[in-house]
Amino acid sequence: MKITFIIDPIRGLDPGHDTSVALMEAAQELGHEVWITEPRYLSVAESKAWAEVRPIRLFPVELLGERWVPPIPWFECGESQRVLLESMDAVFIRPDPPVDTAYLFATYILDYLDPQKTLVINSPAGLRLANEKMYALQFPQAIPQTIVTHEKALIRDFVGRLGSAVLKPLGGKAGEGILFLEAGDRNLNSLIEISTHQGRLPVMIQAYIPEAQEGDKRIILLAGEPIGAVNRVPTGSEFRSNMAVGGRVVHTEITPRERDICAQLAPALARDGLVFVGIDVIGGYLTEVNVTSPTGVREIDRLDGTKLGRQVIEWLAAQSSPGRSGPL
């Protein structure tokens, strides 16, 4: 297969941590052609999607003790060339959020790919539809008590009733802008004003789940099936457990309740073309559905001895084999 990865600038990627690199390595190991590009190198001409792509050769990371260690350099790129994206069997779109205007426009360009010829993971339409914070609201049985609003009075009332809550900007990632709210906090009004941009943007307010101290579990789903998980435990005085803010990663198992949440999600994910997804579960509650550039593969592979990247690429190869009929 020929596979293109739309990513952030390659030099900024962390080969020992980033799932995009794990997927590219797996594709190369399985004998596929790997190409990279960025959202700004996409275009449409004659009603077809094009891209300036570069072939990439990866030098795989190695597990030394508790760390994946990359060789230096860890990749080598060939000359860039302008190609019809439909010459690819699959395209992964994995720049990090925010889902800003440039990101949205990239998804509109990818709409000009024929899904019969090229699988886009995740589906451009699905990416536009699925806000990572709000997608979970479709599953009221799975989530903690949650509201989305820009209204200070509603937020104050929610926090007053529950005593405490977590505030989340709707477009954030990696713990950015996540706040712990307390009813008696003298900064409460100000925190709400800053987060809602003076009442102009809605935010998510969610019941604080005390089990968050034991960790926030990342479960990776492939075509709706859980294929691996890792727990992220907050460290020090930090209440957030994102890896980006120092959360410690530890081995975990997927519980029956979590399998049930995945089963609830699966039909919606299939409907929306969301093939490769990372959900966050705290104390048995679904808190986030990451669809843009979910991570965790390196950590799960290290702790559990799995090869999740390989599993994803093998799944992909099975989809694009002759006889595949229609989009996912």
Active centre residues (catalytic): 133, 168, 218, 232, 240, 280, 288, 290
CA distance 205 to 149: 8
Beta carbon of residue 19, minimum distance to ligand ADP (angstroms, whole number): 14
Please choose which of ligand ADP, Mg ion, none residue 54 contacts, taking the beta carbon within 5 to 8 angstroms, the exact cut-off set by kind.
Answer: none
Helix or strand holding residue 248 (H, E): strand 248-250
Residue 258 binds Mg ion, judged by CB under 5 A: no
Please choose which of ligand ADP, Mg ion, none residue 113 contacts, taking the beta carbon within 5 to 8 angstroms, the exact cut-off set by kind.
Answer: none
Choose between 118 and 252: whose C-beta lies nearer to Mg ion.
252
Q: Which residues bind ligand ADP (CB under 6 A)?
A: 144, 166, 168, 172-176, 178, 206-209, 212, 216, 234, 240-242, 280, 282, 287-288
CA distance 79 to 66: 35
203 class by beta-carbon count within 10 Å (0-12 exposed, 13-18 middle, 19+ buried): buried
β-strands 90-93, 119-121 pairing:
parallel
Cis peptide before 122 (omega within 30 of 0): yes
Choose between 272 and 288: whose C-beta lies nearer to Mg ion.
288
306 class by beta-carbon count within 10 Å (0-12 exposed, 13-18 middle, 19+ buried): middle
Beta carbon of residue 241, minimum distance to ligand ADP (angstroms, whole number): 4
Nearest residue relative to ligand ADP (C-beta)? 212
* One of 288, 291, 292, 300 touching Mg ion (CB under 5 A): 288
Please choose which of ligand ADP, Mg ion, none residue 218 contacts, taking the beta carbon within 5 to 8 angstroms, the exact cut-off set by kind.
Answer: none
CA distance 161 to 191: 18
Q: ∠ CA(226), CA(229), CA(232), 5° rounding?
A: 145
Please choose which of Mg ion, ligand ADP, none residue 240 contacts, taking the beta carbon within 5 to 8 angstroms, the exact cut-off set by kind.
Answer: ligand ADP
Choose between 39 and 175: whose C-beta lies nearer to ligand ADP.
175
Choose between 30 and 174: whose C-beta lies nearer to ligand ADP.
174
Please choose which of ligand ADP, Mg ion, none residue 228 contacts, taking the beta carbon within 5 to 8 angstroms, the exact cut-off set by kind.
Answer: none
CA distance 241 to 82: 41
> What does the binding site for Mg ion look like in residue numbers (CB under 5 A)?
280, 288
